[in-house]
């Protein structure tokens, strides 16, 4: 009887692990322009930062609802770089990382490309 009970428990544990890994709450969204970001209400949901430049394009964001993690990136035209940088401040103790509200940013000024993420909960 114990062997059957252990086998049943192992069976359900494996099924649970398989289903949990298959049905993760990770969403990936891609937007060609800021207009499509606004249409999808991605800024309102907190998936894209509200300071995204008007010229931004190739916008992508990945968010994991279960882990409360958010990663994204976008390209922008050089004309918006100065305005973007004025909105950001250097994050303390982080090498060339900028912050704005609950977001952290890495900016590649040569390629006019930004990577962003939400701040970890423990900071």
The string of DSSP letters for 37-95 reads: HHHTTTTTTTSS-TT--TT-EEEEEEEETTTTEEEEEEE--GGGHHHHHHH-EEPTTST
Q: pLDDT > 70: what percent of the chain?
A: 93
Q: pLDDT tens digits, residue range 16-62?
A: 776 666 666 788 999 999 999 999 999 999 999 999 999 999 999 99
Q: Where are the domains of the chain?
A: 25-118
Q: What is the pLDDT, as a whole number, of residue 14?
A: 80
Tokens of 70: 């958010």
pLDDT, the chain, mean: 89
Question: What is the pTM assigned to this prediction?
Answer: 0.77
Q: What is the pLDDT, as a whole number, of residue 123?
A: 43
């Amino acid at each position: 009887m114990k062997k059957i009970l252990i086998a049943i428990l192992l069976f359900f544990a494996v099924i649970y692990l398989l289903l949990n890994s298959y049905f993760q709450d990770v969403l990936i969204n891609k937007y060609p322009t800021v207009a499509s970001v606004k249409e999808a209400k991605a800024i309102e949901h907190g998936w894209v930062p509200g300071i995204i430049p008007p010229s931004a394009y190739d916008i992508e964001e990945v968010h994991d609802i279960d882990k409360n993690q958010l990663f994204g990136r976008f390209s922008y035209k050089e004309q918006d770089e100065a305005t973007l940088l004025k909105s950001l401040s250097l994050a303390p103790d982080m090498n060339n990382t900028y912050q704005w509200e609950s977001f952290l940013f890495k900016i590649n000024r040569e390629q006019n490309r930004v990577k962003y993420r939400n701040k970890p909960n423990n900071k």
